[in-house]
Amino acid sequence: MAPKVLISDKLSPAAVQIFKDRGIDVDFQPDLGKDKAALLKIIENYDGLAIRSATKATEKIIAAATNLKVIARAGIGVDNVDIPAASKKGIIVMNTPTTTSTSTAETVTTPSPKRSASLAQATSDQSSSIVRKVCA
């Protein structure tokens, strides 16, 4: 039987597809993380929990997670996960700290005529400023 992962926060469709491509049974409920009571009722059905910042994996939720083996935080930090409670149950807690950096880098490096024009102007302004400072 395939591992079952709950994604309880908003993640990109590409991230959801990555799980599926690897044979994971995915339950994508992007607004569930905001409803602790609803999460508490169903968490026992999952082997993995993929979260962002909306889901709070509290001691109570972790205690109810009878099958949970891993909690993965998409992004930086795990301050929304009760690490001691997870550790007591042998649940692995991990994050993906480079996700935010990579997304930012992709956005910044994506070619755009407007962005290129702004960069050219900024470079020109900086060069002029340097020339003025050296010649002054």
Question: Residue written as tokens 């009878």?
Answer: 66
| Residue pair 77/55 in contact by the 8 Å Cβ criterion | no
pLDDT, one tens digit per residue, over 49-64 is: 999 999 999 999 999 9
CA-CA distance, 42 to 116, in Å (whole number)? 49
Q: How confident is the model at residue 100 (pLDDT cuts 50, 70, 90)?
A: low
DSSP string computed for 1-38 = ---EEEE-S---HHHHHHHHHTT-EEEE-TTGGG-HHH
Q: Is the pTM of this model over 0.75?
A: no
**Residue 114: pLDDT over 80:** no
| Residue pair 46/69 in contact by the 8 Å Cβ criterion | no
Q: CA 62 → CA 8, 43, 69, 92, 119, distances in Å?
A: 14, 8, 10, 12, 48
pLDDT, one tens digit per residue, over 11-28 is: 888 888 888 988 999 999
pLDDT mean over 102-118: 46
| Residue pair 45/4 in contact by the 8 Å Cβ criterion | yes
For residue 23, which of 38, 44, 1, 50 has the smallest C-alpha distance?
1
